[in-house]
Amino acid sequence: MSDHLTLSNANELIRIPAESLVYVASEGNYSDIYTRDREKRTVTMQLGAIEELIHKQFHTDGNLFVRIGKSLIVNMEFVHYINPAKKQIVLSDSHTFNFSLEASKEALRELKKYFEKEL
Amino acid sequence: MSNYNDIKDNEIRIIGNADQLTTTLRKPIYRRWWFWATVVALAVLAALLIAMSISRKSNDAATKTVENIESEPVAPTVVKSEPAATVLVSDTSVNDVQMRIYTPVNAVPELCIGYPDPNDNTLVLAFQAADIRADNHEILGAYVLKGDMLSRGRSKKGFCAIIDGKIQLGMAESTPLLEEATEKEGYFFRQYPLVLDGQMVQNKPKNKALRHALCEYNGTIVTVSSMGKESLHDFAQALADLGVQNAIYLIGAESYGFCRTQSNETPETVFWGEKKNDKMFEKVNFIVWRAVE
Read off the amino acid at residue B289: W
Q: For every one of its 293 residues, what pLDDT tens digit does chain B have, with 9 covering 90 and above?
A: 557 888 888 899 988 654 444 445 555 666 677 788 888 999 999 988 888 877 655 544 444 344 566 777 887 777 766 668 888 899 999 988 999 999 999 899 999 999 999 888 889 999 999 988 877 888 888 999 999 988 888 778 899 999 999 999 988 888 889 889 999 999 999 999 999 989 999 887 778 889 999 999 988 999 999 999 999 999 999 999 999 999 999 998 888 999 988 766 677 888 988 888 777 778 899 999 998 77
Here the ipTM equals: 0.91
Cβ distance A3 to A49 under 8 Å? no
DSSP string, B38-79: HHHHHHHHHHHHHHHHHHHHHHHHHHHHHTTEEPPPBPPB--
Q: How many angstroms separate the Cα of B2 from the Cα of each of A30, B27, B113?
A: 20, 20, 81
List alpha helices for chain A, DSSP H: 47-58, 105-117
Q: What is the SS3 assignment for B1? A: coil
Q: How many angstroms separate the Cα of B223 from the Cα of each of A80, B24, B115, B271?
A: 86, 75, 18, 14
> Scanning every residue of chain B, which has its alpha carbon at the shortest distance from the alpha carbon of A28?
B5
| CATH fold for domain A4-117 | OB fold (Dihydrolipoamide Acetyltransferase, E2P) (2.40.50)
Which residues of B are less than 8 Å from A70 in CB distance? 5, 7-9
Which residues of B are less than 8 Å from A117 in CB distance? none
Read off the amino acid at residue B191: Q
- Interface check for A94 against chain B (CB to CB < 8 A): the answer is no
- Write down the number of H helices and E strands in chain B: 3, 22
CA nearest neighbour of B158 among B70, B230, B264: B70
Instruction: Domain ranges for chain B, please list them.
Output: 1-66, 69-291
CB neighbours of residue A64 within 10 Å: 20
What's the pTM value of the predicted model, to 2 decimals? 0.54
- Is B15–A66 a contact, with Cβ atoms under 8 angstroms apart? yes
- Is A110–B21 a contact, with Cβ atoms under 8 angstroms apart? no
- Is B1–A59 a contact, with Cβ atoms under 8 angstroms apart? no
Cβ distance B178 to B226 under 8 Å? no
The alpha-carbon gap from A9 to the nearest alpha carbon of chain B, in Å, equals 19
- Is A110–B27 a contact, with Cβ atoms under 8 angstroms apart? yes
- Is A69–B4 a contact, with Cβ atoms under 8 angstroms apart? no
Cβ distance A73 to A103 under 8 Å? no
- Is B4–A51 a contact, with Cβ atoms under 8 angstroms apart? yes
Name which of A48, A59, A66 is nearest B12 (Cβ-Cβ).
A66
